């Protein structure tokens, strides 16, 4: 069952921007009879071929756990070709989304230039920028730890963190994270390498995944970078978190990455934006940007999906929606960092609950807390409940 707003694929837009009534949401979800089987142990590391993931039937979709049989395996049918697929949009809507993308790209030129100047002035630039023949036009930005001596023949190799920037698969550049990458490399004495990928709508799914996987393979083969190949992790923000999780499940790289850290990632393209928006708290008392009564990404979701998802694309593709992947394919260490004022927080929570075998959130649950803490208060309650 797909939960979409009426205007997602060209229908009547009179209700555009309205959330599903909670009663309707409960009624829809109350029929869910699917759940996820959490692996009890990891398989031995092997390079043997991995069988294709089964096709998930979508007569009913369990985004929140409501079934009394929550411990039963997810119902799958490897012979049934019924999938949740992306529908084509009318020409007028496609033109509207293209205009939004072009407008935002022009608007973002100014902050992008400011970030570049800031990084240059405060010496937060990379030590090295490289390009590989396997990925022409894409560069990696290399940040060595302070202890690194160029040209040194000591044979020292560094634990390495690969980072992937966000931007809805449409916007963003690796240099946007230069400041973070530089500080992290300096503070923890590790090698940080920022990856790049081509953007939608010109390059839609799965091209960004292919770019990241190809670049990663080239980087790990590059002896000049002094990478300790036994200690490699990958981190990504938002769309980059999605790509990071997909990278670690790539057959050629599955056991070459020891850990993945996904910051407020997008992990499930099946639930509609209304359902996602209802799963986060809204705190008008905060005022300003954080006190808005609607998630700031809400009006952009349809544009991002138009740009990144081609017609006919299955939303349950594990590479697109990591929550549908075989968790045996993921590294031993998986971390997510969610933000309660983010409409993607609930799907990240669901993802980690499935991965860790914890109880799923109930229908109507909201992430975080409604109360507003005092300024500077560190809230730690519940932080470890999914570890």
Residue range 286-319, pLDDT digits in tens: 888 888 999 989 999 999 999 999 999 999 999 9
385, part of any domain: no
Mean predicted lDDT score pLDDT of the chain: 79
Q: How far is CA 309 from the centre of its chain?
A: 15
306, part of any domain: yes
384, part of any domain: no
51, part of any domain: yes
Q: Is residue 180 classed as helix, strand or coil in its secondary structure?
A: helix
Give me the pLDDT at residue 380, please: 66
12, part of any domain: no
What mean pLDDT comes out for the span 209-229? 96
pLDDT digits (tens, 9 = 90+) for 239-259: 999 999 999 988 888 889 999
Question: Which residues, at least 6 apart from 256, have a Cβ–Cβ distance to it below 8 Å?
Answer: 220, 229, 232
Higher-confidence position of 231 and 356: 231
Higher-confidence position of 335 and 384: 335
- pLDDT exceeds cutoff 70 at 96: yes
What mean pLDDT comes out for the span 54-80? 34
Give CA–CA dist 96/303, Å, rounded.
9
Q: Structural domain of residue 75, as residue ranges? A: 22-356
Which strands sit side by side in the sheet containing 128-131, from one edge to the other? 128-131, 139-143, 191-195, 158-164, 227-237, 259-263, 333-337
State the CATH number of the domain containing residue 222: 3.40.50.1820
Is there a contact between 189 and 147 (Cβ–Cβ < 8 Å)? yes
206, part of any domain: yes
- pLDDT exceeds cutoff 60 at 277: yes
Q: How many structural domains does the chain have?
A: 1
337, part of any domain: yes
Question: Which residues, at least 6 apart from 61, have a Cβ–Cβ distance to it below 8 Å?
Answer: 1, 2, 3, 32, 34, 84, 270, 271
- pLDDT exceeds cutoff 50 at 168: yes
Higher-confidence position of 248 and 67: 248
375, part of any domain: no
**228 membership: H or E segment, kind and range:** strand 227-237
Residue 23 pLDDT class (50, 70, 90 cuts): very low
């Amino acid at each position: 069952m797909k939960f979409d707003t009426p205007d997602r694929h060209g229908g009547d837009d009179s209700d555009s921007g309205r959330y599903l009534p909670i009663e309707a949401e409960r009624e829809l979800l109350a029929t869910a009879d699917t759940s996820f089987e959490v692996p009890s142990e990891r398989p031995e590391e092997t390079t043997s071929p991995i069988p294709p993931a089964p096709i998930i039937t979508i007569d009913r979709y369990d985004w929140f756990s409501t079934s009394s049989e929550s411990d039963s395996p997810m119902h799958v049918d490897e012979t049934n070709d019924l999938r949740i697929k992306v529908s084509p949009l009318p020409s007028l809507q496609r033109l509207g989304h293209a205009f939004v993308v072009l407008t935002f790209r022009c608007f973002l030129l100014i902050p992008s230039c400011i970030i570049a100047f800031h990084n240059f002035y405060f010496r937060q630039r990379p030590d090295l920028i490289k390009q590989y023949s396997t990925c022409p036009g894409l560069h990696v930005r290399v940040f060595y730890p302070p202890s690194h001596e160029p040209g040194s023949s000591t044979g020292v190799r560094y634990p390495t963190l690969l980072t992937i920037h966000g931007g809805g698969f449409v916007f963003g550049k690796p240099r946007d994270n230069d400041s973070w990458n530089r500080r992290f490399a300096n503070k923890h004495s590790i090698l940080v390498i920022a990856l790049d990928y081509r953007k939608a709508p010109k390059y839609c799914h799965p091209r960004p995944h292919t770019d990241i996987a190809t670049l990663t393979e080239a980087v790990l083969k590059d002896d000049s970078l002094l990478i300790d190949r036994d200690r490699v992790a990958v981190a990504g923000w938002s769309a980059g978190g999605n790509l990071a999780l997909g990278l670690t499940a790539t057959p050629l790289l599955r056991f070459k990455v020891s850990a993945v850290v996904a910051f407020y990632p997008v992990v499930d393209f099946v639930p509609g934006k209304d359902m996602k928006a209802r799963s986060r708290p809204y705190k008008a008392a905060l005022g300003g940007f954080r006190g808005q009564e609607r998630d700031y990404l809400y009006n952009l979701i349809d544009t991002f999906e138009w740009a990144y998802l081609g017609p006919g694309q299955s939303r349950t593709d594990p590479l697109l929606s990591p929550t549908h992947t075989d968790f045996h394919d993921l590294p031993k260490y998986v971390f997510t960092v969610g933000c309660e004022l983010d409409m993607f927080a609930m799907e990240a929570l669901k993802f980690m609950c499935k991965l860790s075998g914890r109880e799923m959130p109930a229908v109507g649950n909201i992430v975080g807390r409604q109360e507003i803490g005092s300024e500077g208060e560190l809230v730690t309650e519940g932080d470890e409940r999914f570890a």
